[in-house]
Amino acid sequence: MANRERTLELFMELVRVDSETGHEAKISAVLKKKFSDLGLEVTEDDAAERTGHGAGNLFVWLPASPGRERVPALLLTSHMDTVTPGKGVKPRLDEDGYIRSDGTTILGSDDKAGLAAMLEAIRLIEERRIPHGPVQFVVTVGEESGLVGSRAIDPARLRADFGFALDSNGQIGDIAIAAPAQAKVKMVIRGRSAHAGVNPEDGISAIQVASKAVARMPLGRIDAETTANIGRFEGGGPTNVVCDYVALDAEARSIVREKLDRQLQAMREALESAAADCGATAEFAGEIVYPSYRFADDDKVVRLAKAALANIGAAPRTFVSGGGSDANVFNGKGVPTVNLAVGYKDIHTTKERIMADDLVRAADLVVELIRETNRLA
């Protein structure tokens, strides 16, 4: 079992380091030193220059034990950034066994719980001389900014055969075996301005056109695998002028690419038909920012996760996630990856918390993932 005191102390240290997304320089320096002090090779890519974030992605290599070089290489990944408000985190362990902040900030267990689990697991492997195959730890920046760090990774840097992200909601035992692709959508409507009191009939209200377009779009829960949402509606000015410009930001998600394509087409057709009916013009741009993934219960990466979870006394449960993670991106870059829950709750809020016992179990889970992979030789 992981060293409880050491694991909790490490977690508390990590969450006290400010690392709001886009400002990862401090936490990156801390992590580079910790991995290096454990004797591991650490490299950093150029994601800082490419994304504008405070650091690049970290790639940490743990070579195989002697005689275990033929074991498949394992990927373990977590992200170093947090959401806001994440400056000046003051963690505390309460009597109910949960670690929380003081309530003025998030805690940052998303995803410093994963980072603490990986670092403690490395210590355990070294202390107990546990035989292992090669392991690549990848710590990303900008996960909370739309997976920008992992999306910037050169696939040539990935040396693993399959992997696990330690970054899912749910209790330890939960395995996200599927997650949707996401498309970002930008729409623009151009109408015609006119005086709203003198000659409104000469104008074309972009607000009215946009309203008609949105009303025609299938939105919300489309089916069990597909969703869509309008996130921003901008336009307008003085009430005495017919508005001639509106911009909409939206998204669509689906686990099935064909369904995502159909949803985007439906949104485009709703926009263009509403504009045509009113004599306005419209622009539609949809970009898939990360791919979906799906695994079956009997796929190797899922079977390995279930075995590792059973080894620590957790009850494995597979589920389909509605959100994206770095696991989506790693799958798209050719490394089959599922996302595992590490026990945090109420993330992205000032009520965020995690059980101290779950931090220890998360570290034990990482060790068991490495052990189970070792059996594939």
pLDDT band, very low/low/confident/very high, at 377 (cuts 50, 70, 90): confident
pLDDT given for residue 26 in this prediction: 98
Please name which of 354, 330, 341 lies closest in space to residue 137, comparing C-alpha atoms.
Answer: 330
Burial bucket for residue 145 (CB in 10 Å: 0-12, 13-18, 19+): middle
Distance (Å, rounded) from C-alpha 102 to C-alpha 83? 16
Would you say residue 1 has pLDDT above 90?
no
User: Mean of the per-residue pLDDT values for the chain?
Assistant: 97
Tell me the two tokens of residue 109.
């267990």
pLDDT in tens, 169-220: 899 999 999 999 999 999 999 999 999 999 999 999 999 999 999 999 999 9
pLDDT in tens, 346-359: 999 999 999 999 99
Q: What is the mean pLDDT of residues 313-334?
A: 97
Sort strands 317-320 and 174-179 into parallel, antiparallel or unpaired: parallel
Q: What percent of the chain has pLDDT over 70?
A: 100
Yes or no: say if 112 and 91 are a contact pair by the CB < 8 Å rule: no
Tell me the two tokens of residue 335.
């490394």
CATH entry, 181-290, from 3.40.50.2300, 3.40.50.970, 3.30.70.360, 3.40.640.10: 3.30.70.360
Distance (Å, rounded) from C-alpha 279 to C-alpha 286? 23
pLDDT in tens, 89-139: 999 999 999 999 999 999 999 999 999 999 999 999 999 999 999 999 999
Please name which of 80, 65, 151 lies closest in space to residue 333, comparing C-alpha atoms.
Answer: 151
Residue 204: CB atoms within 10 Å: 21
Would you say residue 7 has pLDDT above 80?
yes
pLDDT given for residue 97 in this prediction: 98
pLDDT given for residue 246 in this prediction: 98
Q: What is the mean pLDDT of residues 334-351?
A: 98
Yes or no: say if 309 and 165 are a contact pair by the CB < 8 Å rule: no
Q: Is 81 a catalytic residue?
A: yes
pTM above 0.75, yes or no: yes
The domain spans of the chain are 4-179+294-374, 181-290
Question: Rounded to a whole number, what is the largest CA-CA distance in the chain?
Answer: 86
* Annotated catalytic residue within 143, 144, 358, 364: 143
pLDDT band, very low/low/confident/very high, at 281 (cuts 50, 70, 90): very high
Yes or no: say if 325 and 143 are a contact pair by the CB < 8 Å rule: yes
Tell me the two tokens of residue 244.
């001639």
Please name which of 27, 281, 304 lies closest in space to residue 139, comparing C-alpha atoms.
Answer: 27
- The yes/no answer on whether domain 4-179+294-374 falls in CATH 3.40.50.300 is no
* Annotated catalytic residue within 24, 81, 364, 372: 81
Please name which of 2, 99, 80 lies closest in space to residue 354, comparing C-alpha atoms.
Answer: 99
pLDDT given for residue 22 in this prediction: 98
pLDDT given for residue 198 in this prediction: 98
Distance (Å, rounded) from C-alpha 46 to C-alpha 42? 14
Q: Is 143 a catalytic residue?
A: yes
pLDDT in tens, 248-257: 999 999 999 9
**What is the per-residue DSSP string for 151-220?**
HT--GGG---SEEEEEEESSSTTEEEEEE-EEEEEEEEEE-B--BTTT-GGG-B-HHHHHHHHHHHS--E
Phi, psi values for residue 29, rounded to 5°:
-65, -40
Phi-psi domain of 142 (left: phi exceeds 0; alpha: psi -120 through 50; beta: other): left
Phi, psi values for residue 314, rounded to 5°:
-95, 155
